[in-house]
Chain A
Amino acid sequence: MKTNLKAVLTGTHTLSGNEAFIEGAFAAGCRFLAAYPIMPAIETIERYLKRSAEVGATFIQMEDEISALAAVIGASWTGKKSMTVTSGPGFSNMMEHLGLGVMLETPCVIVDVQQSGPSLGIPTRAGQGDMMQARWGSHGDYEVITLSPSSPQEMFDFTIKAFNFSEKYRTPVIIMSDEYVAHKKEKVIIPRADEIKITPRRYFKGQKDKYLPFKRDKDFVPRMVDIGDGYKFHVTGLTHDDKGYPIMLEECQEYNVHPILWKIRNDTEKIIEFQEIGTKDAEIVIVYYGATSGAASKAIKQARDLGIKVGSLKLDTVWPFPDKKITELAEKVKAFVVPEINYGQIVSEVERCSYGNANVVFVSHGENGIDNTEDIVSAIKLALNEEKIKKGIIEYQSQTGRV
Chain B
Amino acid sequence: MEPLRKTEKDIHPMDDLLRMDRIPHIWCPGCGIGTAVTAFAAGLAKAEIDLTKTCIVSGIGCTGRVAGYVKLDSFHTTHGRAIAFATGIQVANPDLKVIVFSGDGDLISIGGNHFIHAARRNINMLVICVNNFIYAMTGGQVAPTTPLATYATTSPFGCVEPPFNIPYLADSSGAVYVARWTALHVRRLTNSIAEALKKPGFSVIEVISPCAMYYSRINRLGDGLDMMKFYHDNTEIRHGEDTKNLDIGFQTKIIVGKFVDRERPTYMDSYNKWLSGTKKD
Contacts and interface: CB of A to CB of B under 8 A. Distances in A.
Interface stretch (A117-125, A233-241, A301-309): A233-241
Contacts of A243: 21
A71 B72 CA distance: 19
Interface string A86-124: 000000000011001000100000000000000000000
Contact of A232 (B71, B84, B275): B71
A108 B9 CA distance: 45
Contact of A53 (B68, B75, B114, B279): B279
A78 interface: yes
A78 B68 contact: no
B88 A73 contact: yes
Given A73-B85, A234-B67, A234-B68, A245 B93 contact: no
A343 interface: no
B88 A82 contact: yes
B91 A60 contact: yes
Secondary structure dominating the interface of B: helix
Given A80-B93, A100-B78, A234-B67, A74 B72 contact: no
A66 B92 contact: no
A387 interface: no
A356 interface: no
A373 B278 CA distance: 47
Interface string A215-248: 0000000000011111111111110000101100
A70 B93 contact: no
Given A79-B93, A245-B68, A228 B73 contact: yes
Given A67-B81, A235-B76, A32 B96 contact: no
Nearest to B123: A60
A32 B90 CA distance: 12
A72 B88 contact: yes
B96 to A, nearest CB: 5
Interface residues of B, number: 38
Contacts of B57: 74
Nearest to B268: A58
Interface in A184-220: none
B213 interface: no
B78 A70 contact: yes
A34, A100, A237: residue with the most chain B Cβ atoms closer than 10 Å: A237
Contact of A71 (B74, B91, B267): B91
Contacts, number: 135
A255 to B, nearest CB: 18
B103 to A, nearest CB: 16
A96 B78 contact: yes
Contact of A78 (B67, B83, B89): B89
Contacts of A262: none
Interface in B84-129: 84-89, 91-93, 95-96, 113-114, 117
Contacts of A71: 84-85, 87-88, 91
A63 B53 contact: no
B160 to A, nearest CB: 28
Contacts of A80: 92-93
A341 interface: no
B36 interface: no
A74 B53 CA distance: 15
B61 to A, nearest CB: 12
A95 to B, nearest CB: 11
A78 B86 CA distance: 11
B6 interface: no
Nearest to B95: A228
Contact of B92 (A58, A63, A96, A104): A58
A80 B55 CA distance: 16
A34 B76 contact: no
Contact of B279 (A54, A76, A96, A226): A54
B92 A237 contact: no
A277 B72 CA distance: 54
Given A227-B96, A235-B76, A237-B76, A70 B84 contact: yes
B89 A74 contact: yes
Contacts of A226: 93
Contacts of A284: none
B153 interface: no
B75 A64 contact: no
A384 interface: no
B19 interface: yes
Interface string B165-190: 00000000000000000000000000
A295 interface: no
B14 to A, nearest CB: 14
Nearest to A232: B71
A129 to B, nearest CB: 26
B52 interface: yes
B33 to A, nearest CB: 16
Contact of A63 (B73, B113, B279): B113
Contacts of A232: 71-74
29 contacts: A32-B91, A58-B92, A60-B87, A63-B113, A66-B84, A67-B114, A70-B81, A71-B87, A72-B88, A74-B84, A74-B85, A75-B88, A75-B92, A78-B89, A80-B92, A96-B78, A100-B78, A227-B96, A228-B55, A229-B52, A232-B71, A232-B73, A233-B73, A234-B73, A235-B76, A237-B76, A245-B21, A245-B68, A246-B76
Interface of B: 19, 21-22, 52-53, 55, 57, 67-68, 71-78, 81, 83-89, 91-93, 95-96, 113-114, 117, 267, 271, 275, 278-279
3 tightest CB-CB pairs across the interface, nearest first? A71-B88, A74-B88, A67-B84
Given A58-B271, A75-B89, 16 more contacts: A32-B88, A52-B275, A58-B92, A60-B267, A62-B84, A67-B113, A70-B78, A71-B91, A74-B84, A76-B92, A80-B93, A226-B93, A228-B73, A232-B72, A234-B73, A236-B68
